[in-house]
Copies of this chain bind each other. A is one copy, B any other.
């Protein structure tokens, strides 16, 4: 199968590597607005060639859209316009409601499969692409009833060969749950980095004292705004809702500390410890 990957960054690049490795793709065409990314991706043998979108599409069976969600909204209708009944179009975006609303009435909606691999790192660009990024991770497929059966099968086969766990959701559920378990973690981490940078003017001290705990909590604050601002924008109301709850929880801890109610503080920590049962 000839595959076009639009956006040869962390996710697109890692998918390209995996598809080749698993024998699902024998030729990968990269499409990217940044000429430099295409060059690097080719040097790193992530793609076989770089091309323009139209040309790449004409020669490919599967088109993977691995670009920020705002860019996706802009190009997906055009791509569907140009799709043939043989094309499979798949995205990997972190929000789903807006994109699926946008193409809901499109005559070729069936060629599109909305996918979200729950995997990533805090790095970006083709150099960030890695093997096995998706191994044992979850792939969410959204509103699959609106995808053509044969298009869905192509994507499900990828999920299977990449040894991912498959979860089906509707777009609304997806955006709600990802706000809870992914988007809020990023907000927290960005805010924590800002907090420490603000308080800790002696940056050398951060370096000296930061232990594994700090590093893991703040790691996501290295993530790219190009990817994350559109996610927060497109999942705004869910993110605001969970952010409200998070601020409330922090304020509750603050109040208990101000009042020196250490017994209640202890119970709160015990309650938070329940996360152990869920995350092994």
Contacts and interface: CB of A to CB of B under 8 A. Distances in A.
Given A190-B269, A195-B249, A216-B216, A208 B243 contact: no
B193 A272 contact: yes
Interface stretch (A26-34, A71-79, A219-227): A219-227
Interface stretch (A46-54, A58-66, A177-185): A177-185
A31 to B, nearest CB: 24
B194 A272 contact: yes
A198 to B, nearest CB: 6
A213 B185 contact: yes
A245 interface: yes
A66 to B, nearest CB: 16
Contacts of A245: 195, 198-199
B250 A247 contact: yes
Given A185-B217, A196-B181, A221-B273, A278 B203 contact: yes
A200 interface: yes
A106 interface: no
A130 B218 CA distance: 24
A269 B225 CA distance: 6
A268 B190 contact: yes
Interface residues of A, number: 91
A217 B191 contact: no
Contacts of A190: 253, 268-269, 272
A243 B225 CA distance: 24
B249 A194 contact: yes
A96 to B, nearest CB: 13
Given A192-B249, A217-B220, A236-B260, 14 more contacts: A119-B212, A120-B212, A180-B199, A187-B250, A188-B192, A191-B246, A191-B272, A192-B246, A195-B242, A222-B276, A224-B273, A225-B273, A233-B260, A243-B253
